Amino acid sequence: MIIGIDLGTTNSLAAYFTPEGPKIIPNRLGKRLTPSVVSMDEEEQIYVGDLAVERNLLYPGSTASVFKRDMGTGRKFKLPHKTFTAEELSSFVLRALKEDAEHYLGEKVTEAVISVPAYFNDARRRATKKAGELAGLKVERIISEPTAAAIAYGLYQHQERSRFLVFDLGGGTFDVSILEHFDTILEVRAVAGDNFLGGEDFTAVLEDMFFEKYPQFSKLSLDEKTLRHIHKQAELCKIGFSHGRKSVMECKIGEESFKYEVELSKYEEACEELLEKIRQPVKRSLMDAHIRLSDIDKVVLVGGATKSPVIRRFVSRLFKALPDTNINPDEAVALGAAVQGAMKERKEAIKEVILTDVCPFTLGTEIVREWEQGRFERGVFCPIIERNTVIPASRTERLYTVNDNQTKIRINVLQGESRFAANNLSLGELVIDVPPGRAGEEAVDVTYTYDINSILEVEVKVISTQKTAKQVFCGQDVNMTQEEIQERLDTLSYLKIHPRDKEENKYLLLLGERIYEESLGDKRIYVESALHKYEKALDTYDSGVIEEAKEEFKKFLEELEDF
C-alpha cells in the first residue's frame, strides 16, 4: 500500500485510500495531526509529536521545530549531544508516521507519496526524498501541496472547463497555485509563494503586541522557557479569535501573571505587513497564468493557518467571494496525496486523470552579455525555460562565442530567478568544443527539455560543425532506469519542434504572408499587425495561448478572404 504524507512545518499527517475514499490515519495517541517537533533527552532518546511539544515547554534547549523551512540548506540543529540537518529531523517525523500507519493498518508500509510546497526548489525536494528514505520509505512521488489539495477536493471531476486557485498557508510556508481542469486533464497554470511565510509569523505578531503592552520585558531579557510559554499563549490567543472578536493572552513571568486582551481589528491592523506579503504571490501567479481574478471559478483554502478569521476575511475581500472550506484545511493535502498514491497503484475506484505541472523555478544558463559596444558583463543569467511553463516543455536558445579564438563553450545549468548566475542554483555543466575564430562567429543552440518526472535534458549543438553534447539531470523523485529515462525523452522529442514549424501554424503563417503581399495601404498594416501578434503567441510555446491566437488569426484571415 502507498500512503500519502503531508510533511508540514507545524503538523504532519498521513492518509490511505479505501473504496469509500481517502481517510486520515490517526497517530499512536489517537490524534489526526502529529506536531512536526523533535526532542532528545539526556539518554539520546528521540521523541516526536505531542510528547516533543510538551518537552519543549519544559526543556526548550532539547527540542527542534519549524525545521521544514531549512530543508536542503545544510543548516544544523543542535539537540543534546548531537546535531541534525532538517532532513534528518524530518525523517524522525516520517518514521513516526510510518510506524503509526503500520500499527493502524496492521500491515507493513514501505511506500509513500510525500507533499512539498509548490515553490520548493530541486534541492529542497531532493532533501524531502532523502528524509523519506532515511525513514525507511520508498518515495513513489513528491507531489506539490496545492496539486494534492486540488485532488482531495475532486476538482478534476468537474464536467466543465474551470479554473481554481489553491490558497495554501501552512505553519511556515505559503503557496498559491492556479489550476485549470478540462476534459481529463488537471493542469497547473502557475505557482508562486514564500517559503518563509506562514502561521508562525502571525503568532509572532501577537508576541510582539504583548511585548509592546508590557515594555518592561523583552525577548533578550527572558529565558528560553518563558519565551516558549509566551509563544504558546500567543498561539492559543490566535486560535481564540475563531470564537469571537476578542481574545486573551495570559502569561506567567516569574511569580506574576500578565493578562492582555486583544481586539480582532487591532490584530488585523498589526498583520497588515504580512497580509501584503501574501498579496504579492497572488498577483504574480495571476500574471504568470495570464488571467484575471474574475476568471477564477473557485478559491480553495488549504493549511491550518487558513482557519484564522484574519486570513479568511482577507481572502474573501481579496477575491470578492467566499472560499471553499468543505474539507478540513489541515487534512486536504494528506488526503490528496493518498489519492495520488491510489492513482499510482491504478485503483479501480479512482477516475483516471492526467496531472500536468509547471516549472516552479526558471531553468537557464550563465552567459556574458554585451550591453554596449565593447562593454561586457559576466555572470549574467539567461532564462531558457521560464518559471510556470507548463511541462513537459522544450526550449532552445542560440548563444555565441565572446572571445577571439575561443575553443570551448561552457553551459552552466542553472535554476532560479536572479539575473545574476551566482545567485541561482547550479545543477551541473556541459562543455563543448567549437572551432577557433573571431568573437561572435561561432554559435551553439542550447536546448532544454524538461519532463514532469523532473528529468532535464540539456543538448548543445555547434551550428558550424553540427557536433552535439548531451546530458541528463535527474530531479529528486526519479525512480527510473537509464533505459526508462531515455525512452521517456524519446517520446518528448516532438516538443523540440518549434510551434512555427508545425504544419497548421506554418500554413496559416504562409497564408498571412501571401495576403500581406497582395494587400496595399491600411489593409497591409492590419495584416502585418495580425501576423506579428500570432508569431508572438507561437514564441510563448504555451498551448493555451497558441490555440486562442490561432483561432483568432484564422478568423481574421477568413474575413479578409471573404472581403
Long-range Cβ contact pairs of 368-372 (< 8 A, separation 24 or more): 368/402, 370/402
List the catalytic residue out of 168, 187, 366, 459.
168
**288 catalytic, yes or no?**
no
**183 catalytic, yes or no?**
no
List the catalytic residue out of 88, 145, 187, 477.
145
Three-class SS state of 20: coil
Contact 459, 420 (CB under 8 A): no
Residues 6+ apart with CB under 8 A from 487: none
β-sheet bridge partners, residue 443: 400
Backbone angles phi and psi of 459, in degrees to 5: -120, 130
What is the number of other CB atoms lying within 10 angstroms of the CB of residue 420? 13
Quote the CA–CA distance of 196 and 208 in Å, as a whole number: 18
* DSSP calls for 67-93: GGGGTTS--EEEETTEEEEHHHHHHHH
Kindly provide the b/e burial profile for residues 338-360, where b requires at least 16 CB atoms within 10 angstroms of the residue's own CB.
Answer: bbbbbbeeeeeebeebebbbbbb
Backbone angles phi and psi of 339, in degrees to 5: -65, -40
Cell digits of residue 239: 486560535
How many CA atoms lie less than 13 Å away from 412 in the CB half-sphere?
18
**404 catalytic, yes or no?**
no
**201 catalytic, yes or no?**
no
Active site residues: 6, 68, 145, 168
